[in-house]
Structure 1
């Protein structure tokens, strides 16, 4: 009797549960366990991808502050990190945009002419993929405009993207600078049909402290001081300020 009692006490709980549970309940429990395992894996992969993304963001921020890529090794490490993140979540538009930005930096800092064009085209392909996944994100359209300009492609597609960027982000700083840059580049061609679009974002870009320095730099880069000052003078109050117009 003592031996039988010890055996009963030692019987694992899950055996008793399995012995008495109904088949439908057993199936439901199995399904719930599969869902929990899947959710745990998904959460873990998101966490790992986020760590890689943060590393790339910090790297890009440092390059932006310094105005240059720190080293080729730094660049290689950033590509490894973003490729790991994309492998975990290949359809994340933000991660695709980050890789495109890395390609732009490599084209700017490391590549000869042929390699530079290839990197810009690869970046543009990634931006297009990101825009397809997240079409209402204005920064992506602005980035596509800038890459298109880096490739020297002043065409109908560029103008279409400018209109799309204006539609998605009429008050977005990145859109202001991209449209001003694109507008000034297109002004070198005749006829230029998007003057109201250019003037609108010139004024908004100068009025926004986040985009004002870059817009002012573009005015000087493209030698558009006279045109910009005329646009400001004709604008309704309160008018944005541009130092060159006050001298």
Structure 2
């Protein structure tokens, strides 16, 4: 019996190790993309997808792995020239994130990923609003949440003013917090400046949000 137990424990240790290797193989492809440091070929994304799937096959209950596969599929959708294929990938990515939330329902980055997926699908429905509210509820100071919601806020201001105004408080808060937070400052500032809404954001940067004024150059004559 002891031999069986030791064999069982040894198998699970090895499978966990191999699953982790596969996870990092996928992560090493995705991280440079997320930071804007590189581009990848379709074959590299396919390899990352296979690695993430292999990690899940070995440890299906680990949300970290299902979130990684979701992220890979989001990038595949972004790189796809076929809208129907991209939507299918985004649907699959959304389901993977929802699966992750079954084991860690308060994880803000997963909720932010769901917001992004709905945005990419153009589905500003009740589920989108639920994802948005949960992302900001669970991650009011999370950099990844700032980055997604800030970019969304700028997009909605330019393209869907009604949806922007319906969610203005949440959107503008994450835009300003994204500018204040050192991890997201450069990305959010670039988004704001590229959209030409710098003065608008300056008008929001008062009181407890006044720290955003300097990086925005609000007070320069």
Bin of the TM-score, shorter chain as denominator length: 0.7 to 0.9
Residue 171 of structure 1 deviates from its aligned partner by 0.8
Aligned residue number for residue 207 of structure 2: 235
Q: TM-score normalised to the size of structure 2? A: 0.87
Task: Call closer, same or farther: CA 1:68–1:138 in 2, change over 3 Å.
Answer: same
**Alignment coverage as a number of residue pairs:** 215
RMSD of the TM alignment (CA)?
2.1
Paired position in structure 2 for 1:190? 162
8 Å Cα contact 1:149-1:182 kept in structure 2: yes
Task: String of CA shifts for 1:118-176, please: whole Å, max 9, x gaps.
Answer: 11111111111112221121111111111111111112322221221112111101111
Cross-structure match for 1:11: none
2:107 matched residue in structure 1: 137
Unaligned runs of 5+ in 2: none
SS of 1:128's equivalent? helix
Question: Given the alignment of the two structures, is residue 214 of structure 1 paired with residue 214 of structure 2, yes or no?
Answer: no
Aligned to 1:52: 22
Bigger CA radius of gyration: 1
Ranked by relative contact order (alpha carbons within 8 Å, sequence separation 6 or more), the top structure is 2
2:172 maps to 199
Distance of aligned partners of 1:62 and 1:196 in 2 relative to their CA distance in 1, 3 Å threshold: closer
Deviations 1:76-122 (A, max 9, x none): 22222112111111121111111111111111113411111111111
